[in-house]
A and B are shown apart, each in its own frame.
Chain A
Amino acid sequence: MLLLKLFFAFIQVGLFSVGGGYAAIPLIQEQIVNIYGMMTLEEFSDLITVAEMTPGPISINSATFVGMRIAGIPGVLICSIGCIIPSFCICLTLAHFYYKYRSVSGVQIVLGSLRPAVVALIASAGASILMLGLFQAELKEVVLGNIRYVELGIFVIALWILRKYKVSAISIILGSGIVGTIIYALLGAV
């Protein structure tokens, strides 16, 4: 019964979280904390910290965390599956139509105007992460004097390596984490 409740709660989370991971957080709070009282608000704020600190989509992270806390491994499976079922059905349908009509010239014209927007959205996400990395702050709270030189150096060198050589993105991300931690450890700042 509990598993069934979790399952339907997360189907709703998956279905109504339009526009990125952070949209899912209030929905999960409503379902799990407010409606069913399965978690306390404190546990829930732990959840957000963990979901942000670990790789992977925030809603899958949250589904796993909630499932594990409430019902162990079966909970993890039920919550995650519930969370992706709406995505799966909707995107499969959209993919089908996209590949069927993609070569139609009218569709090409419409899609053509979406592409610059997508480039801008990706650029915007990159700029936000860069600000968080260099200043540990959002754009509006940036204080130029607080710039972190280690991160700045890593960003410049990483970008230079990416432009110059064909390296995988993963090795750059993990490499910058390892190199940065070693530098901070040597500086005695950890």
Chain B
Amino acid sequence: MKKDYSKLWTLFRSMFVLSACTFGGGFVIVSLMKKKFVEELKWLEEDEMLDVTAITQSAPGPLPVNASVIIGYRMAGVVGSLTAILGTILPPMIIISVISVFYEQFRTNPYIATALQVMRAGVAAVIFDVVINLAANVFKTKRALYIGMMIIAFIATYLLDVSAMIVILTCLGIGLIDLVLTLRKKKKEVV
């Protein structure tokens, strides 16, 4: 893998800004990372970003930190990982340290509460934008298996509260079966 240290500053800055502006959970930051690293900077391929997301979801620890370890490693090895982690954890560390001192004023300020509430609409728009692109690509594969899995996985997680971990493991199982079937098919073709 080619290591490119010239990208370290951009990597740090991108992670810092994403982390500072990400409200509400790991998949929000994954959507933002996809927009930044796949669409804007073109450092990663879309499939790669999805793979990284699956890996980060399966490993323990905070999702954004996991994702920055892997993306950092991809760009510049271990140094890249450390750079990306630093960018990800500095904003919450600074913000929370300040807030824990002014906690009462922060919690009771009506403007902050309103801004946080309306910002959810903006966050939802960003995620939907990313999901539209991603889902379009799944449909483009024209594999009924993948399209079906996507729809069922959505119903399972959103409507039936099945945990993300179980969805990933189930799909991993389906992937392994798919692999075995594909290998068998190839063997027959050879014979």
A positions within 8 Å CB-CB of B: 14-22, 24, 46, 49-61, 64-65, 68-69, 73, 76, 80, 83-84, 86-88, 90-92, 94-96, 98-99, 102, 106, 109-130, 132-134, 136, 139, 150-152, 154-155, 158-159, 162-163, 166, 168-170, 172-181, 183-185, 189-190
Contact of A17 among B60, B78, B93, B127 (CB under 8 A): B60
Q: Which of B89-133 contact A (CB under 8 A)?
A: 89, 91-93, 95-97, 99-101, 103, 106-107, 110-112, 114-132
B43 within 8 A of A: no
Measured CB to CB, the nearest residue on chain A to B145 is A113
Q: Chain B's nearest CB lies how many Å from the CB of A45? A: 11
B27 within 8 A of A: yes
User: Which residues does chain A contribute within 8 Å of B122, judged by CB atoms?
Assistant: 154-155, 158, 172-177, 180
With A88-B69, A117-B168 given, is the CB distance from A123 to B154 under 8 Å? Answer: yes
User: Which residues does chain A contribute within 8 Å of B179, judged by CB atoms?
Assistant: 106, 109-110
* Count of residues in B whose CB is under 8 Å from the partner chain: 112
Give the number of residue pairs across the A-B interface with Cβ within 8 Å: 381
Measured CB to CB, the nearest residue on chain A to B154 is A120
Q: Is the CB of B21 within 8 A of A174?
A: yes
Q: Is the CB of B129 within 8 A of A159?
A: yes
Q: Is the CB of A55 within 8 A of B111?
A: no
User: Which residues does chain B contribute within 8 Å of A15, judged by CB atoms?
Assistant: 60-61
Q: Is the CB of B171 within 8 A of A116?
A: yes
A155 CA / B136 CA spacing, docked (Å): 21
Q: Is the CB of A151 within 8 A of B110?
A: no
With A65-B100, A86-B61, A87-B65 given, is the CB distance from A117 to B150 under 8 Å? Answer: yes
B56 within 8 A of A: yes
Q: Is the CB of B17 within 8 A of A126?
A: no
Contact of B69 among A50, A95, A152 (CB under 8 A): A95
Measured CB to CB, the nearest residue on chain A to B170 is A117
Q: Is the CB of B66 within 8 A of A116?
A: no
Q: Is the CB of A95 within 8 A of B55?
A: yes
User: Which residues does chain B contribute within 8 Å of A73, judged by CB atoms?
Assistant: 97
